[in-house]
């Protein structure tokens, strides 16, 4: 009888010990689950936070771009109004330079007023100009009377603005643009606006390669702008 009692006591002791061990393990598992769940929630919050930052950064860039565009268009409007005022004066009182500048800006897209604004102020935002137009305001102004070159620079600016929506077209344009710019800068000292015009749209056999690149860029720009405008309307 005492042996059975002893065995029963041992069995109860083992059962109690096993129960206690299982309780500890269960508690440990629960703690680990809580920890994992907490880590998952933290990771999810951090991910959402980063997504919000990215969205805010994109919105900030877009607002900056719109603010700058507004400044440029203000310059365009001001120059056109100045030209109109000069035309309303008697001929002998007109300032011919103001009229010429108004003509140029009215038909020069954004690259011309941007370049004028940069060159005429102490806040020379040269880095911004090169980032958006692919070249410096100094180089642009050297060849500004080339209509084809002006169109090339404006096309580059417009596709760069919409690059988020038209990455393929923007990347293709950037490559061709760089090739053309290298051709121009390789002969920069001897190049004039007239020779740049011939390089881009002339009919001489020696300009065949550059003409083909320029034509391809015009097509890329047209397709890219259509896609970009459609994407903006959808959003």
Asked whether residue 113 is assigned to any structural domain, the reply reads no
Asked whether residue 45 is assigned to any structural domain, the reply reads no
- Pick the residue with more confidence: 148 or 30? 148
Asked whether residue 128 is assigned to any structural domain, the reply reads no
Measure Cα distances from 126 to 80, 139, 184, 188 in Å: 25, 11, 20, 19
Poorest-pLDDT segment among 1-15, 152-166, 182-196: 1-15
HSE (side-chain half, CA atoms, 13 Å) at 68: 19
Measured at the CA of 162, the angle between CA 158 and CA 165, to 5 degrees, comes to 150
Asked whether residue 162 is assigned to any structural domain, the reply reads yes
Asked whether residue 72 is assigned to any structural domain, the reply reads no
Taking residues 59-83, report their average pLDDT. Answer: 63
DSSP letter for each residue of 197-213: HHHHH---GGGHHHHHH
CB atoms near residue 185 (< 10 Å): 12
Domains of the chain: total: 1
Taking residues 163-172, report their average pLDDT. Answer: 88
pLDDT at 173: 94
Asked whether residue 221 is assigned to any structural domain, the reply reads yes
DSSP letter for each residue of 95-116: -HHHHHHHHHHHTSTTHHHHHH
- Pick the residue with more confidence: 164 or 194? 194
CB atoms near residue 233 (< 10 Å): 7
Asked whether residue 215 is assigned to any structural domain, the reply reads yes
- Pick the residue with more confidence: 174 or 107? 174
Taking residues 168-194, report their average pLDDT. Answer: 91
The boundaries of the domain holding residue 202 are 137-235
End-to-end CA gap in the chain: 87
Asked whether residue 68 is assigned to any structural domain, the reply reads no
**Mean pLDDT of all residues belonging to the chain:** 75
């Amino acid at each position: 009888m005492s042996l059975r009692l002893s065995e029963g006591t041992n069995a109860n002791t083992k059962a109690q010990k096993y129960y206690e061990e299982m309780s500890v393990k269960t508690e440990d598992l629960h703690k680990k689950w809580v920890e994992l769940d907490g880590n998952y929630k933290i990771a999810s919050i951090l991910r959402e936070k980063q997504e919000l930052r990215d969205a805010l950064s994109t919105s900030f860039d877009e607002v900056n771009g719109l603010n700058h565009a507004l400044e440029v268009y203000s310059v365009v409007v001001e120059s056109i109004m100045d030209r109109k005022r000069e035309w309303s004066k008697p001929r002998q009182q007109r300032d011919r330079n103001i009229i010429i500048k108004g003509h140029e800006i009215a038909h020069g897209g954004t690259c011309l007023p941007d370049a004028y604004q940069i060159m005429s102020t102490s806040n020379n935002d040269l880095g911004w100009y090169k980032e958006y137009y692919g070249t410096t305001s100094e180089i642009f102004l050297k060849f500004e009377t080339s209509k084809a070159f002006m169109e090339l620079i404006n096309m580059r600016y417009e596709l760069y603005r919409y690059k988020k929506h038209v990455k393929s077209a923007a990347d293709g344009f950037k490559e061709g643009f760089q090739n053309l710019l290298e051709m121009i800068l390789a002969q920069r000292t001897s190049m004039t606006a007239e020779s740049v015009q011939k390089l881009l749209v002339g009919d001489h056999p020696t300009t065949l390669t550059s003409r083909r690149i320029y034509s391809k860029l015009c097509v890329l720009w047209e397709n890219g702008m259509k896609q970009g405008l459609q994407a903006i309307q959808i959003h």
